[in-house]
């Protein structure tokens, strides 16, 4: 299920249709965030807090923090340790580490209801993406759901971004 991906299987540039990303962000309600950090200055912590504020349940996965809490949620060591279901796996790990995470998600997909693998900015593993897609999962790479949510649901316009108010072009004088 490629859902608007181009270049994913051939190593070319990545492109995802806005409608495909919008659909994911509208239908997913529970996210397992692999690589979640308890440190408030880390991007994973910021993204987790933002997504929680938008109504998502974000379950942190971090073996070094297992049994503790991050932003009010119990931390699990692995995806298989999470009780219940979740629709999306958000990978905040290196591109190389994404492979085993995708493989675990594939194994758990039916049991846990996993439909989406989302690799964060700078994370791309074409081989793992191909395995995920072959297993029927939607795979997004090198994107951040927090950024995509803001972009696609109009939250960036309050600061003038994407609103046409702020521009680098000079105004024509009278």
Query: Cα–Cα distance between 52 and 45 in angstroms, integer?
Result: 11
Q: Residue ranges per domain, the chain?
A: 15-155
Four-residue CA torsion sign, 5, 149, 57, 45? positive
Asked whether the beta carbons of 36 and 44 are under 8 A apart, the reply is yes
Query: Cα–Cα distance between 158 and 99 in angstroms, integer?
Result: 38
42-100 pLDDT tens trace: 999 999 999 999 999 999 999 999 999 999 999 999 999 999 999 999 999 999 999 99
- Spell out the residues 6+ positions from residue 164 whose beta carbon is closer than 8 angstroms to its own: none
Stated pTM of the model: 0.83
127-139 pLDDT tens trace: 999 999 999 999 9
DSSP 3-state assignment of 122?
coil
Statement: 15-155 belongs to CATH 3.90.1150.10: no
Task: Take residue 81 and report the two structure tokens written for it.
Answer: 């340790």
2-50 pLDDT tens trace: 444 444 455 678 999 999 999 999 999 999 999 999 999 999 999 999 9
């Amino acid at each position: 299920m490629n859902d608007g991906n181009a270049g994913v299987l051939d190593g070319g540039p990545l492109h995802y249709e806005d409608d495909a990303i919008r659909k994911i962000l509208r239908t997913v309600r529970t996210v397992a965030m692999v690589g979640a950090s308890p440190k408030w200055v880390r991007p994973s912590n910021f993204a987790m807090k933002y997504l929680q504020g938008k109504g998502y349940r974000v379950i942190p996965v971090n073996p070094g923090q297992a049994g503790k809490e991050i932003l009010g949620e119990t931390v699990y060591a692995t995806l298989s340790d999470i009780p219940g279901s979740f629709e999306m796996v958000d990978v905040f790990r290196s591109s190389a580490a994404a492979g085993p995470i995708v493989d675990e998600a594939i194994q758990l997909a039916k049991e846990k209801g996993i439909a989406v693998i989302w690799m964060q900015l700078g994370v791309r593993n074409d081989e793992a993406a191909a395995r995920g897609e072959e297993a029927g999962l939607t795979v997004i790479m090198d994107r951040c759901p927090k950024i995509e949510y803001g972009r696609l649901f109009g939250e960036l316009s309050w600061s003038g971004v994407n609103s046409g108010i702020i521009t680098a072009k000079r105004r024509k004088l009278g």
